Amino acid sequence: MNESAPVSTLERRVQQRIDNKTKPLGALGHLEALATQIALIQQTEIPVLTNPHLVVFAGDHGLTAEGVSAYPAAVTYSMVNNFISGGAAINIFCKQNGLQLLVCDVGVAGTFSTNTDSFVKYKIRAGTRNMRHEPAMTSDECEAALDAGKTLVNGVKYRDCNVVGFGEMGIGNTSSAALLMHRLTGLPLVECVGRGTGLDDAGLARKLDLLQEITDRYSHLTDPLDVLAAMGGLELAAIAGGMLQAADNGMIILVDGFIATAALLVAHALNPAVLTHCIFCHLSDERGHQQMLAFLQVKPLLQLDLRLGEGTGCALAYPLVQAAVAMLNDMATMDSLQISIAH
């Protein structure tokens, strides 16, 4: 939260409740700030977490034809099948920590026969275009992807969900994320481009040169939606739309790593108020994520050197969200134990 913002009456009351818990002042560190943030999102001293969801959007990228990833584009399709069959890391972590997983195909270059409560198809097109030669999406396609995210978030809210995390799957999407980061933060491109799925030094140098060519090609674009359409991805646009809708719905937003934070940069450029709803779950090992978080002036909950995506950081951090709420609601107070401490 912005430390310079005026302190509300609710925030004072929540802080007083936390300070009266059976502990030294500030002894629970970041967990105390997290509890306060959740209370302010829900506008109550007694917040409740209901039916948390993790929504994973999947889409392919035409730019993979230029060799920006250590993995072939076909891996996107294979990994979505892995999500459907329950074998991916995000399946395991969601099951372990009590989150409902919903996977959405917004742009995978492949056909899926299944359509269930945990997998939905909202395909805009079979992958973005190669942005080296033409914009990744048309304006209409970009808007459709944003709408897909909004629709899915409204759908999970209908399931009585008030906590939603966002994950992604899309080979090549670290390139889109780096380009969006560069354009929306103003940071030098070299500070935004990382190894993604594991490029070697030569591959990283080629990736940087290619992305510099692309950002030069679209340097005339200034509107965030135009930048997103030209250099983004269908799954990133869907995440941005979903985050905007979640904020409008008064929901808690769990933000994953580098890719999800890049989508948040778009959402933030369109509506800065979305930031107050966001819990940043971890610091990614992908180069650039730390600078993204610094730009937004936020702190992550975890630092585990993760760079998998899928929303895995959200699922792993969720128990801390639960702990913050449990502390605020259930921990005994000095008053209840008739303890008097001079602060």
pLDDT at 1 over 70: no
pLDDT tens figures, 116-140: 889 999 999 999 999 999 999 999 9
Nearest to 245 by CA among 236, 235, 253: 253
| Averaged pLDDT of the chain | 94
- Rounded to whole angstroms, what are the CA distances from 313 to 126, 249, 256, 318, 319? 27, 23, 5, 9, 11
- Report the C-alpha gap between 244 and 104 in whole angstroms: 17
193's torsion region: left (phi>0), alpha (psi -120 to 50) or beta? beta
Nearest to 235 by CA among 76, 24, 56, 32: 56
- Structural domain includes residue 31: no
- Report the C-alpha gap between 330 and 126 in whole angstroms: 49
- Structural domain includes residue 273: yes
- Structural domain includes residue 17: no
pLDDT tens figures, 221-261: 999 999 999 999 999 999 999 999 999 999 999 999 999 99
Q: Is 310 an active-site residue?
A: yes
- Structural domain includes residue 194: yes
- Structural domain includes residue 13: no
- Structural domain includes residue 248: yes
The one catalytic residue in 32, 141, 235, 310 is: 310
Can you give the pLDDT at residue 165?
98
- Structural domain includes residue 16: no
pLDDT tens figures, 267-323: 999 999 999 999 999 999 988 999 999 999 999 999 999 999 999 999 999 999 999
CA 111, chain centre distance (Å): 26
pLDDT tens figures, 86-120: 999 999 999 999 999 999 999 999 999 877 889 99
Domain count, the chain: 1
CATH number, domain at 298?
A: 3.40.50.10210
pLDDT at 204 over 50: yes
> What is the value of pTM for the model shown?
0.94
User: Quick one: what percent of the chain has pLDDT higher than 70?
Assistant: 97
* Residue 260 structural domain: 53-321
- Structural domain includes residue 12: no
